[in-house]
Amino acid sequence: MCGIVGAVAQRDVADILVEGLKRLEYRGYDSAGVAVINNNNELQATKRLGKVQELAQALEQQPVTGGTGIAHTRWATHGIPSEVNAHPHVSNNTIAVVHNGIIENHQSLRSQLQGLGYEFLSQTDTEVITHLVHHELKTSDTLLAAVQKTVKQLEGAYGTVVMDSRDQDNIIVARSGSPLVIGYGLGENFIASDIMALLPVTRKFSYLEEGDVAQISRFNVSIFDTHGEPVEREAKEANVSHDSGDKGEYRHYMLKETYEQPTAIRNSLEGRLVGGMLDINTFGEGADEIFKNVEHVQIIACGTSYHSGMVARYWLEELAGVSCNIEIASEFRYRKSFVPKNSLLVTISQSGETADTLAALRLAKEIGYQSSLVICNVPGSSLVRESDLAFMTRAGAEIGVASTKAFTTQLVGLLMMTLAIGQHHGMSDKKQAEITQSLMSLPAKLDEVLALASSIEDLAEDFADKHHALFLGRGDQYPIAMEGALKLKEISYIHAEAYAAGELKHGPLALIDAEMPVIVVAPKNDLIEKLKSNVEEVRARGGLMYVFADNDANFSSDDTMKVIDVPVCDDIIAPIVYTLPLQLLSYYVAIIKGTDVDQPRNLAKSVTVE
């Protein structure tokens, strides 16, 4: 959350900064700002409420010039979205700061600084950094030293970039809890919260580690660790395409990313199932040894990733015969939990920077988890660097805030992990072959599902005037019902709940009437007769149902039920197959409701704050 870009160059950087912000807008979009130092050593700061486009227009009308600058797109935590609260924040017309994270001791620092005569203009926690740097500079030789002293006083999380209008040659950056990546150019260097922002200007990147402070100038980058000792952070070439942030022919990123799922899954499978055999190196060095010793799996995730983890629990226990628990990261990290013997901690995160999940991984290491594995879409991210093993989902850049291809490729990774663990726990050759074949059949199957788009679009009309919806599923389709409900909430703002269908009679049946559409995920499987009884319970109470089912499940449309015919598929991959129609349903409902599909209100991607 919150996107940061900074540059020290020999050319004007405003356009680079704004382009970077556009590429980071998925991280926050309630306001945006830029500050650039001009040739007279003056700060030119422009901020706008709303999207980066508003800022870009303001800069077109009143351009800023200069080779050193910082920029920010905000997702508010402290203080309402407003121009005053937008970053960069400035102290005494000299020090400008952008920040991602939360300064937890901001109130006491604010009082302290007010006592020293500093006047606060915004309601943000960030502004304390600005004045603190200004204050520390009075007794420091360099901006670097002032920032080093400042960060020692900060509690909480930050990725921050600081510049001083009197010094056009340097910007200072610091990381603790929120990601920052340095981009290396020729006679120019950059900083950003994500490499996406800098792909138009460089391919060479190095990630800052926790506690690092760095001085970035045109020809040099010096990094210091938490003790102030100089350190090297390996620079690597990124092999992501420059255009991966492009919407192409699609109206929204979410639709593009929904349609990319067959390709994303093909990429995710490529080279990993060699001759029908899983290549264990897919998970990294030492995977075989780790999987051999696993007796229990603890999955930790948030949001959509939590739902993929829930599906994995069904797979791990049923297919691999290994016990598995799953917990939301923000709960796990703040309670004392029992660590079963020989437990593997599995985290799931699209960005690899999810603050709660990262904190949970660090805690797990402290409390005795033997090994860790992450399912992640971003190489080099914090979770990848800090885990023993990693499965890279290869979904490609996902820009739509509502996750689509990241989710289904996570499921692919989790199914491969099930296979890998199962191989060490007596999974039969037949079962292994079945899983492998199912996985291989997925891309073509998903192409068939996407062909349902126009009939799902027709269905969406029925939801336009609804305020609530109920999603039902059983077994490994229960988490898919949850994901369907989350998607609908996120982008259409319709209140949606998901229930394991067997729970209906324990409460939610009371809600059923003609105003509460009920969406049922119903592939033909061992639970179909049970699910059909639940469907009858809804019908008997005047409920209207939308049933996603294959032919073999034997549902037929009537006055109270519309059946959407989903292609028949293997049970194992059915959770992945049934995800797509629900994504499409949410998308088309959101279109009818006229919401901002890619950037729904109040949300942001890459949740780097608690």
Active site residues: 2, 605
Q: How far is CA 121 from the centre of its chain?
A: 32
Residue 147 corresponds to which tokens in the numbers above?
A: 């920032």
Report the nearest approach of ligand HGA to the CB of residue 305 (Å): 18
Asked if residue 609 binds ligand HGA (CB under 6 A), the reply is: yes
Asked if residue 473 binds ligand HGA (CB under 6 A), the reply is: no
Cα angle at 293 between 287 and 299, to 5 degrees?
Answer: 75
Ordered strands of the 31-37 beta sheet: 43-49, 31-37, 68-74, 3-8, 189-192, 181-184, 204-207, 236-237
Q: Which is nearer to ligand HGA, 207 or 546 (CB)?
A: 207
Residue of 84, 36, 30 whose CA lies nearest to 63: 36
Report the nearest approach of ligand HGA to the CB of residue 159 (Å): 8
How far apart, in whole angstroms, are the C-alpha atoms of residue 482 and residue 479?
5
Residue 174 corresponds to which tokens in the numbers above?
A: 């610091």
Q: Which is nearer to ligand HGA, 102 or 280 (CB)?
A: 102
Asked if residue 100 binds ligand HGA (CB under 6 A), the reply is: yes
Q: Which is nearer to ligand HGA, 121 or 451 (CB)?
A: 121
Asked if residue 52 binds ligand HGA (CB under 6 A), the reply is: no
Q: Which is nearer to ligand HGA, 79 or 284 (CB)?
A: 79
Binding to ligand HGA in span 110-169, by CB under 6 A = 124-126
Report the nearest approach of ligand HGA to the CB of residue 226 (Å): 21
Nearest-CB residue for ligand HGA: 1
Ordered strands of the 371-376 beta sheet: 323-328, 296-301, 343-349, 371-376, 389-392
Q: Which is nearer to ligand HGA, 420 or 609 (CB)?
A: 609
Residue range at the interface with ligand HGA (CB under 6 A); choices 76-84, 471-479, 500-508, 537-545? 76-84
Asked if residue 1 binds ligand HGA (CB under 6 A), the reply is: yes
Report the nearest approach of ligand HGA to the CB of residue 78 (Å): 4
Report the nearest approach of ligand HGA to the CB of residue 603 (Å): 11
Residue of 316, 363, 358, 375 whose CA lies nearest to 339: 363
Report the nearest approach of ligand HGA to the CB of residue 106 (Å): 8
How far apart, in whole angstroms, are the C-alpha atoms of residue 102 and residue 91?
19
Q: Which is nearer to ligand HGA, 87 or 134 (CB)?
A: 87
Residue of 105, 21, 27, 28 whose CA lies nearest to 55: 21
User: Applying CB under 6 A, which of residues 43, 49, 52, 76 lies at the interface with ligand HGA?
Assistant: 76
Residue 304 corresponds to which tokens in the numbers above?
A: 């959509």
Report the nearest approach of ligand HGA to the CB of residue 202 (Å): 24
Q: Which long-range contacts (CB under 8 A, 24 or more apart) does 357-363 make?
A: 357/300, 357/301, 357/302, 357/305, 357/329, 357/383, 358/177, 358/382, 358/383, 358/386, 359/329, 359/333, 359/610, 360/300, 360/329, 360/332, 360/333, 361/300, 361/386, 361/387, 362/386, 363/332, 363/333
Asked if residue 77 binds ligand HGA (CB under 6 A), the reply is: yes
DSSP 429: H
Binding to ligand HGA in span 9-28, by CB under 6 A = 28
Q: Which is nearer to ligand HGA, 14 or 32 (CB)?
A: 32
Q: Which is nearer to ligand HGA, 118 or 548 (CB)?
A: 118
Q: Which residues pair with 276 in a beta bridge?
A: none
List the helix and strand counts (H, then E) for the chain.
18, 27
Q: Which is nearer to ligand HGA, 1 or 297 (CB)?
A: 1
How far apart, in whole angstroms, are the C-alpha atoms of residue 368 and residue 23?
39
Asked if residue 192 binds ligand HGA (CB under 6 A), the reply is: no
User: Applying CB under 6 A, which of residues 38, 58, 78, 112 lies at the interface with ligand HGA?
Assistant: 78
Residue range at the interface with ligand HGA (CB under 6 A); choices 33-41, 70-78, 131-139, 470-478? 70-78
Residue range at the interface with ligand HGA (CB under 6 A); choices 71-79, 186-194, 230-238, 249-257? 71-79
E strands, 16-112, are 31-37, 43-49, 68-74, 89-91, 95-103
Residue range at the interface with ligand HGA (CB under 6 A); choices 47-55, 99-107, 396-404, 424-432? 99-107
Asked if residue 260 binds ligand HGA (CB under 6 A), the reply is: no
Report the nearest approach of ligand HGA to the CB of residue 354 (Å): 12
How far apart, in whole angstroms, are the C-alpha atoms of residue 442 and residue 434?
12
Q: Which is nearer to ligand HGA, 75 or 205 (CB)?
A: 75
Asked if residue 101 binds ligand HGA (CB under 6 A), the reply is: yes
Report the nearest approach of ligand HGA to the CB of residue 102 (Å): 5
Asked if residue 74 binds ligand HGA (CB under 6 A), the reply is: yes
Asked if residue 445 binds ligand HGA (CB under 6 A), the reply is: no
Binding residues with ligand HGA: total (CB under 6 A)? 17
Residue 272 corresponds to which tokens in the numbers above?
A: 């990993």
Confirm if 171 and 70 have CB atoms less than 8 A apart: yes
Report the nearest approach of ligand HGA to the CB of residue 397 (Å): 19
Asked if residue 44 binds ligand HGA (CB under 6 A), the reply is: no
Confirm if 85 and 36 have CB atoms less than 8 A apart: no
Residue 311 φ then ψ, to 5° = -65, -40
Residues that bind ligand HGA (CB under 6 A): 1-2, 28, 74-79, 99-102, 124-126, 609
